[in-house]
Structures are given as structure tokens and as C-alpha cells.
């Protein structure tokens, strides 16, 4: 597989020089193992997916860690959650930076275990599928926005040029069977799959637990639990509303987005660029792609995303698609349009927001066009420039 340099690399090296352990998390097949092996070629590597290694770690955790040495990559570490307590003992004994590099493909109960056992001893990073700058550096930059959205960003799908119609159904089957069935309390897998499709159909919309519950014949408590599973396994995330100092009439409900648009398209039955162009969902999917791209930029710097949306009460026409909080006194506002043509009206709601906000606001329209003339100007940004 062709290696693409990852933007998180420098932050990964920095944390490994400061903490005895570094935990790299993210969705399955986002490139965690490849990244660790590439950046730290002198480290011993052990995958806890390997049955023999896993049994050794379970039956004799002290002996296992002793045999690993002091520079080791432990992959899929969530497979042996009890190991974290023994890692604490080993770390406290030596207290050397960069002793253990840990990775895991989902978060079910794992971050809780890490925070309890390795608090103050571990640096944590999230690795998502390729960002646009990573695809550009690796020579696999998408030719069109539709190509970007439908193909998604998973490393193997991009570098091996696997058609989305082949890659994503297999990915979803692995996710449902291995992660959901084996690692959660979900037993009605068929209903969970229906839930996934229902969430995909509502991407970019305000989350309504009752509506989702009606779709799958479940109560709001079940829906809330299953949404948490999607978040913990890096399938979907909630974008919460921004409400600080911008009037009192603001919506309080979060919106739902997916971490990868290729996966999202697969759930919606969109397999080709032609399917996407003829779909009524192009605008929502383009919006999802831009928002998750900004989210990747935060994670690649080792930061928690400070990202929101804003809506004036129940009026969907008065909405800022994305509010990025650079600081309490400085905001980036984004209007996201799949249009090829610049239109000054795209700036109106953001200007209204900026007038109410005490913070400095930078206004940007992300769209598919390239206009930089009198209509477009510096406020308009082609998606390729993200």
C-alpha cells in the first residue's frame, strides 16, 4: 500500500517525547497501525488481534509486558482492557517517555479505562481517514467534489483504488459484526443496521430521538444509546449549537454528521458520482464533507474540535452552517454551498450573526466555484483550498 504522510505525525512525535504512553485512536482502517510502524520503525510491534498474543496478554499480563521490552507498539489494545492497569505499574517503574504506543479502533469503554489507569501518563490523539492535504501530498487528490464525497477518505480505499461499491459494504459488515455485535450490548443487529440507514437519511438535520425511534420501532433511550455507539466508534458525530452572546432565540438541539462521506453515500445507496449529482442530497453531503474536513484539521493538531452551528430559533433559513471558535474573541463562520456560482446572498446570515456577536468574525463561503472577482472575492473559498 502506498504510504501517505499524515498531518498528525509531528504531534505524535511530540507526545511520544513527553509521555510514557501515547494512545492513537480512530475508526477502523484509518491508518493507525501503518502510521505507528512508519514513524517508529525501531519499535517492536504486537497486535492483540492475534489470538496467541492476546491469550498471553490475558493470562499473564505482567509476563507479556516484560517480554515486550520498553519500546513497543500495542495494536488493537481494546481487545485486552485489563492490560491498562498493568501498563500503569510498568510505566511507574521505568517512567521513560515513549515506552508504549497504543492504538485502538474504537472507544467502547476504552477511554474510561485509560483515564482511570493512565491518567497523567498518556497523550491521546485521534486519527481520522485522509484529510485533503494528505491526499494532495500522496498524489491522490480528488478531481471533483463529487469524487471526493462518493469515494470517501479511507486510506485503503484511496491508495488501492477500491471502488466504493466494493469497499464500503464490506467495511460496514465488519463494523457491525465485529465492533457492534462483539463489543456492545446491541443484540438486534438487523434493527441496528436500519438505525444506521435512518441516521444517514437525516444527515445534517437536527437530531430528533422520537423520529429516529419511530423509524426503527425503539424508544428514545435506545436511540440515544445507539447514537453514542456511533460516536464512540467514529462513525458519526453531533455538531452542537453555538449560543454565546448571539441573542436569546437559538436552537438547542444538535445536528448529526458522519465522519466519512463515502460510508454515508453507501448507506444512502449512492455508488457513483452520477448518482450523487442526480440526488437531492448533494447539498447535505457536500456540507458534511466540508465540516468533517475542518474536524480533521483540529484532530491533526492534537486539539478537540471547537465547532458548532447556529440557527436563529426555528428558522432554518437563518442558519450559519459552521462556527469555528478559534478563541472566545475570534470566530470563523462558514456558509457551505454546493453551488458553482458565487452569490452575495450567501453572506447575509453570517453578517447578521457577526453584528450580534461581540467576537471578531471571519466570514467564509465554501463552494464549488472558483470566482475570485467582484462577486466572489476573498470571502469565497473553493473546497479544494480547505
Domains with residue ranges and CATH for the chain: 9-126 (3.40.50.300), 132-190+229-385 (no CATH)
Q: How far apart are CA 80 and CA 60, in angstroms?
A: 11
Measure the CA dihedral 179/74/157/266, to 10°.
20
34, 151 in Cβ contact below 8 A? no
Phi-psi region of 54 (alpha: psi -120 to 50; beta: other; left: phi over 0): alpha
Cell of 381: 473559498
- What residues contact 167, with CB distance under 8 A and at least 6 apart? 154, 156, 157, 262
> How confident is the model at residue 178, as a pLDDT?
78
One-character DSSP codes across 100-144: EEEEES--TTHHHHHHHHSTTTEEEEE-PSPPHHHHHHTT---SS
Positions in the chain whose pLDDT score sits under 50: none
- Sign, Cα dihedral of 5, 30, 236, 282: positive
Angle between helices 209-216 and 189-201 (to 10 degrees): 130
Helix or strand or coil: residue 12? helix
Rounded alpha-carbon distances, angstroms, from residue 231 to 27, 224, 227, 236, 281: 10, 11, 6, 5, 22
> How confident is the model at residue 245, as a pLDDT?
62
> How confident is the model at residue 107, as a pLDDT?
61
Of 233, 238, 235, nearest to 255 (Cα)?
238
> How confident is the model at residue 79, as a pLDDT?
86
User: At residue 285, what are phi and psi to the nearest 5 degrees?
Assistant: -75, -35
Q: To 5 degrees, how large is the angle CA 291–CA 32–CA 299?
A: 30
Q: How far apart are CA 231 and CA 243, in angstroms?
A: 23
Amino acid at each position: 500500500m502506498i504510504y501517505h504522510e499524515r498531518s498528525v505525525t509531528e504531534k505524535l512525535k511530540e507526545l511520544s517525547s513527553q509521555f510514557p504512553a501515547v494512545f492513537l485512536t480512530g475508526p477502523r482502517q484509518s491508518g493507525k497501525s501503518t502510521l505507528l510502524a512508519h514513524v517508529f520503525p525501531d519499535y517492536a510491534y504486537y497486535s492483540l488481534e492475534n489470538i496467541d498474543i492476546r491469550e498471553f496478554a490475558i493470562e499473564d499480563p505482567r509476563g507479556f509486558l516484560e517480554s515486550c521490552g520498553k519500546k513497543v507498539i500495542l495494536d488493537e489494545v481494546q481487545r485486552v482492557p485489563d492490560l491498562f492497569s498493568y501498563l500503569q505499574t510498568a510505566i511507574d517503574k521505568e517512567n521513560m517517555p515513549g515506552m508504549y504506543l497504543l492504538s485502538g479502533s474504537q472507544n467502547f469503554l476504552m477511554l474510561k479505562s485509560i483515564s482511570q489507569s493512565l491518567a497523567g501518563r498518556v497523550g491521546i490523539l485521534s486519527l481520522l481517514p485522509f484529510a485533503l492535504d494528505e491526499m494532495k501530498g500522496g498524489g491522490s487528490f480528488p478531481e471533483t467534489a463529487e469524487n471526493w464525497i462518493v469515494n470517501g477518505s479511507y486510506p485503503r480505499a484511496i491508495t488501492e483504488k477500491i471502488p466504493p461499491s466494493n469497499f464500503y459494504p464490506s467495511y460496514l459488515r465488519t463494523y457491525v459484526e465485529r465492533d457492534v455485535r462483539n463489543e456492545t450490548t446491541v443484540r438486534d443487529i438487523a434493527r441496528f443496521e436500519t438505525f444506521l440507514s435512518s441516521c444517514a437519511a437525516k444527515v445534517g438535520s437536527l437530531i430528533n430521538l422520537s423520529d429516529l425511534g419511530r423509524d426503527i420501532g425503539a424508544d428514545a433511550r435506545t436511540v440515544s444509546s445507539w447514537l453514542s455507539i456511533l460516536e464512540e466508534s467514529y462513525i458519526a458525530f453531533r455538531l452542537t449549537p453555538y449560543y454565546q452572546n448571539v441573542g436569546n432565540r437559538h436552537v438547542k438541539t444538535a445536528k448529526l454528521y458522519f465522519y466519512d462521506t463515502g460510508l454515508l453515500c453507501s448507506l444512502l445507496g449512492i455508488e457513483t458520482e452520477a448518482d450523487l449529482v442526480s440526488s437531492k442530497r448533494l447539498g447535505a453531503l457536500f456540507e458534511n464533507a466540508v465540516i468533517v474536513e475542518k474536524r480533521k484539521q483540529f484532530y491533526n493538531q492534537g486539539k478537540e474540535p471547537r465547532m458548532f452551528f447556529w440557527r436563529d430559533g426555528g428558522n432554518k433559513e437563518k442558519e450559519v452552517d459552521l462556527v469555528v471558535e478559534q478563541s472566545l474573541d475570534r470566530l470563523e463562520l462558514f456558509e457551505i454551498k454546493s453551488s458553482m456560482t458565487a452569490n452575495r446572498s450567501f453572506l447575509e446570515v453570517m453578517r447578521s450573526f457577526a453584528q450580534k456577536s461581540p467576537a471578531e468574525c471571519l466570514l467564509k463561503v465554501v463552494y464549488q466555484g472558483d470566482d475570485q472577482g467582484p462577486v466572489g472575492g476573498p470571502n469565497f473559498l473553493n473546497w479544494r483550498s480547505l
